[in-house]
Amino acid sequence: MRALVWYGTKDVRVETINEPVVTNGKVKVKVKAAGICGSDLHAYAHGIGIQVGTPHPLSGKMAPLTMGHEFAGEVVEVSEGVTSVKVGDRVAIEPMYQCGACDNCKKGNYHLCEGFGFIGLNGDGGFADYVVVDPYMVHKLPDNVSFEEGALVEPTAVAVYAVKESKQKIGDTVAVFGVGPIGLLTVIAAKAAGAARIIAIDISPERLALAKEVGATHIINSLEENCVSIILSEYGGVDVAYEVAGVQATLTSAASVVKKGGEIRVISLFSAPAEIDLFSLIVREISITTSCAYHHVFPEVISMIENGVLDVQKVITAKTTLENIVEDGFEKLVSDKSQAKILIEI
């Protein structure tokens, strides 16, 4: 079968490899659609986040690895004893490993598992014709949810979880700093959660236009305008600022625009330590919270896509094939900041 295999920084290859074999208790999925994530780009461009040198405790795998953790497909084989899914089911994959035995897993907080990791980064993933997964990773898709939408469930879960666990209430004013794929999905999720005003801040005119299309009520290009003074003068601040850019400048701006008693919710992965003026936050009793991936939200996300509450397909800005994934996927995302989600049709 075909697979995109990570060998090293900027060394990923589309290769023919053996099909994975269904072992005890597992499920084999034929992949139909997969999305490229920001963390795939970190792994591609900088070698960050991928399992190198020692095998992952739960997958037993290390690089070279098949990448891809945002995908959907069809079940083609199940091991004896698996009853939660059957051959022919259309499914989205929740790609996070769970050991099931650590304290956090026992409490249901499997996103904080001692064996934290993802297929496609810490084990073989979905940029391939087939993948073998654990049944707990498999979520059925209703007939009216496409495989493309199914591939968007994972990044949507990140945004939905972040908004769901935030202080945001219906009628609030919120800001979303950074409208790449997760930022756009955060706009969509904040709107679904009843935000009255959603201010999107970015430096790409194309991404800002897309943010407006998916629900932002005000867009600000921070290269051209001072987002802090605009937000303070026009809105008197925001109830929740979602930080989805992951750089010092946006964190500082977010801290400046949150109202007293409000919240800065950090969703993005910062690649370097950032500074924050805690004095100014304490005297305004502003919370800084973080959110790590998601847990227990895939079924809701799938239902919300099914019922049209979340129109996620608009975040797809380009499509390509597995053969062309490097040039038309990874390289395009690195060089062209107008892109949001690039989808691979497999």
CB of 293 to Zn ion, least distance (A): 8
Rg (CA), the chain: 20
Closest distance between Zn ion and the C-beta of residue 107, in Å?
10
Q: Which residues 26-45 are close enough to bind Zn ion by CB under 5 A?
A: 37
Choices 84-92, 96-104, 119-127, 329-337 (CB under 5 A): range interacting with Zn ion: 96-104
CA 249 to CA 254: how far, in whole Å?
9
* Span interacting with Zn ion, options 99-107, 131-139, 177-185, 312-320, rule CB under 5 A: 99-107
105 binds Zn ion (CB under 5 A): yes
For residue 220, which of 267, 251, 269, 253 has the smallest C-alpha distance? 253
Give 37 or 153: the residue with its C-beta nearer to Zn ion. 37
Distances (CA, A) of 253 to 73, 231, 241: 40, 10, 9
Site for Zn ion contains 211 (CB under 5 A): no
Stretch that binds Zn ion, among 86-94, 111-119, 183-191, 270-278 (CB under 5 A): 111-119
Closest CB to Zn ion among residues 49, 237: 49
Contact present, 138 and 91 (Cβ < 8 Å): yes
Q: Which is nearer to Zn ion, 154 or 239 (CB)?
A: 154
Which residue, 115 or 262, is less far from Zn ion as judged by CB?
Answer: 115
Q: Please choose, out of 105-113, 161-169, 190-198, 214-222, the segment that lies near Zn ion by the rule CB under 5 A.
A: 105-113
Dig out the tokens for 76 from the structure.
């083609």
Identify the residue whose tokens are 């990791």. 117
Q: Which is nearer to Zn ion, 107 or 260 (CB)?
A: 107
* Residue 131 vs 231, nearer CB to Zn ion: 131
Is 102 a binder of Zn ion (CB under 5 A)? yes
| 207 or 259: CB nearest Zn ion | 207
Q: Tell me whether residue 284 or residue 296 sits nearer to Zn ion (CB atom).
A: 296
Neighbouring C-beta atoms of residue 87, cutoff 10 Å: 11
Beta-bridge mates of residue 11: 8
- Closest among 253, 30, 283 to 132, alpha carbons compared: 30
Least distance (Å) between residue 302 CB and Zn ion: 17
Q: What angle do CA 345, 315, 153 make, to 5 degrees?
A: 70
Q: Find all residues with CB under 8 Å of 83, minimum gap 6, and list them.
A: none
The region of 26-34, 113-121, 127-135, 254-262 touching Zn ion under the rule CB under 5 A is 113-121
| Secondary structure in 3-state letters for 129-184 | CEEEECHHHEEECCCCCCHHHHHCHHHHHHHHHHHHCCCCCCCCEEEEECCCHHHH
d(CA 81, CA 101): 21
Considering the complex, what minimum distance in angstroms separates the CB of residue 76 from Zn ion? 24
Q: How far is the CB of 69 from Zn ion (least distance, A)?
A: 6
Interface residue with Zn ion, options 22, 99, 276, 326 (CB under 5 A): 99
Least separation in angstroms between CB 106 and Zn ion: 8
Smaller CB separation from Zn ion, 238 or 340: 340
> Given the rule CB under 5 A, which of 100-108, 172-180, 194-202, 219-227 is the region that contacts Zn ion?
100-108
Q: Which of 113, 138, 304, 346 binds Zn ion (CB under 5 A)?
A: 113
Handedness of CA 325, 328, 334, 340 (dihedral sign): negative
What's 305's DSSP letter?
Answer: H
Question: For 73, phi and psi rounded to 5 degrees?
Answer: -175, -160
Give the orientation angle of helix 181-192 with respect to helix 153-164, to 10 degrees: 50
Min dist. Cβ of residue 40 to Zn ion (A): 7
Can you give the binding site for Zn ion, defined by CB under 5 A? 37, 99, 102, 105, 113
